[in-house]
Structures are given as C-alpha cells and as structure tokens.
Structure 1
C-alpha cells in the first residue's frame, strides 16, 4: 500500500511540476516531459508491470487534462513505453546512471515520433523533418538535461522504498 501511495504521489507531483512550473520556463516553446522520465525510470528500476501501470495512470492523467478529442492516446503511448523499457530491468544496476539517461532519450524520441504519427501524419501533415527539428530534438535535449537530476532523486526514492528492513541507509 505504501508503494502505491508513493507512486501516485510521484505521478501527481511530476504532472503538477510539468504543467505549472515548467510551463513558465519553456525553452524555445519546449517543456521537458517529466512524466516520461518518471515512467521510463520506474520501468527501468522496477520492471514491465510497474512501468505499464505508471504509464497508464500518467497517460490517463494527461489525457483527462489536455487530451483533445481522443482519450487514451497518451495513456497508450506511456503504457507501451513503460512496457518495453521494463525489459531493460534485467540489466538494472544501482551504480549506473548513463544507461537510464540513454533509455530516457530513446523513449522520448519514440514518444515524439508516435505523437507525430497520431496527431499530424494521420491528418495529412507530412513534413516530418520540420517536426523533428522543431519539436522532437529540442524536447529530447531538454528532457535529458532535466532527467540527469530527476533520475537521481527517483533512484533514491526507489532505493528507500524497496530496501530490506535490516539494510542500512
């Protein structure tokens, strides 16, 4: 029960920070995707099922608040990203900080690509290179820069949440 409460608090805090604080400190009209960092980091540290659940609830929260005419698009994208990144849990190391940052960058690219496909390509807007240069790459850079700090915090929370009772701090 404690883990569920911590996960829900993480989702709510990341969503509030992403929609309120980072809305005012945008760089080139781009915000970092804190919920994607949360989903990717949790899936990397805890596995597929936890990553899927974090992705589903994070995506549903975004869908309910910012979704256009289709509810479930963000939930599907975050769920799929959480599921596939959960496979990398087998190579999880408590000392490695570079692999999760690379995984977050790749997942942000995949998120941006599928968002382009569902929101723009299906409407007949075919200029992918413009969308790549204008939105996907700057968001990847900004998200990776924020994820360096945020992953360390999430890693510390995860370690405290799953440590054994006889283990020292």
Structure 2
C-alpha cells in the first residue's frame, strides 16, 4: 500500500514540476520535489524502497521529458540507494539530515548531468554551470527539504505507512 501511495505522490510531483513549478524559478532554478522525496524515502524506509521508487520516478521522468532514456532513472535510483545506506548510519529523526543529504544528492545529480552532456558532445563550462545552477539548486532544494522531510517522517509513523 505504501509503495502505491508513494508512487502516486511521485507521479503527482512530476506533473506538478512540469506544469506549475516550471514557471516558478529562484535564481533560474526550479524545485526538484521528486529528488527531495526520493532522499526522504531513502532516509526513512531504506535502500530497497529508495532505490525502487527512485527507479520508478526516474523512468517516468525519462519517458515524459527526457532526451535519453535512463538518465533520470539511473541517477534517481543511485541516489535512493545511497540514501538508504546512509539511513543505516544516521539518526533519521534529526531534521538536519535531510537538507544535508539533499544537498549531496543535488550535487550528485548535477555531476551526472554534466557527464551526460560531456559524453554527448555538448560543451559548456563546468565552472559556470556549477556556479550559476548547481549552487543555487543546492540552496533552494535544501531549504525546501528542511520543511518537507518532517512531513514524511510523521507520515512514516502512521499505521498505513509502516
């Protein structure tokens, strides 16, 4: 039941990101609610669910919006798995772990995006990209994760989410 609800939530977030949130940008960066959710799921439920939901949401993103099938799927799956491993090492009720690991996940996501562009033959300045896009994205998404993670934490304590 939990997997179904979280999959529907991720589908809703993908639709929300591609419609309403695409018009709202902070410093040229839009929110990545899907990534924040994958980080939260991985930290709360572990590596199997983090990896599974990362793969599902990544494939949905690739099918709907991607140029290369598998880029989001691989990135989100890897991030969900890493957050599951990290969840075994940290105190999950700490509100600061989500922004910290969201920042790490955004960095991993942007590095993988850069390498995809590089291997596709598209040249652009990595320093400009990281300075203008990655840093702002890390800050914006980490702040939002600080407020979203406690909601997932409270939901995980409900009977139908255990």
TM-score using structure 1 length: 0.87
Is 1:141 matched up with 2:139? Answer: yes
Identify the residue that residue 99 of structure 1 maps to in structure 2. 97
Structure with max Cα Rg:
1
Identify the residue that residue 15 of structure 2 maps to in structure 1. 16
Contact 2:43 2:92 in 1 (8 A): no
1:56-111 deviation per Cα after TM superposition (whole angstroms, max 9, x unaligned):
0110111011111x211110111111111110121343531111210111011111
Contact 1:37 1:104 in 2 (8 A): yes
Contact 2:102 2:142 in 1 (8 A): yes
Contact 1:39 1:55 in 2 (8 A): yes
Identify the residue that residue 30 of structure 2 maps to in structure 1. 31
Identify the residue that residue 53 of structure 1 maps to in structure 2. 52
Contact 2:39 2:101 in 1 (8 A): yes
Contact 2:98 2:146 in 1 (8 A): no
CA drift at 1:22: 1.4
CA distance in 1, matches of 2:20, 2:145: 16
CA distance in 1, matches of 2:14, 2:156: 19
CA drift at 1:44: 0.8
CA distance in 1, matches of 2:37, 2:64: 18
TM-score using structure 2 length: 0.91
Identify the residue that residue 73 of structure 2 maps to in structure 1. 75
Q: Which runs of 5+ in 2 are unaligned?
A: none
CA distance in 1, matches of 2:119, 2:138: 20
The structure 1 segments of at least 4 consecutive aligned residues displaced by more than 2 Å after TM superposition are 91-95
Equivalent residue pairs, number:
160
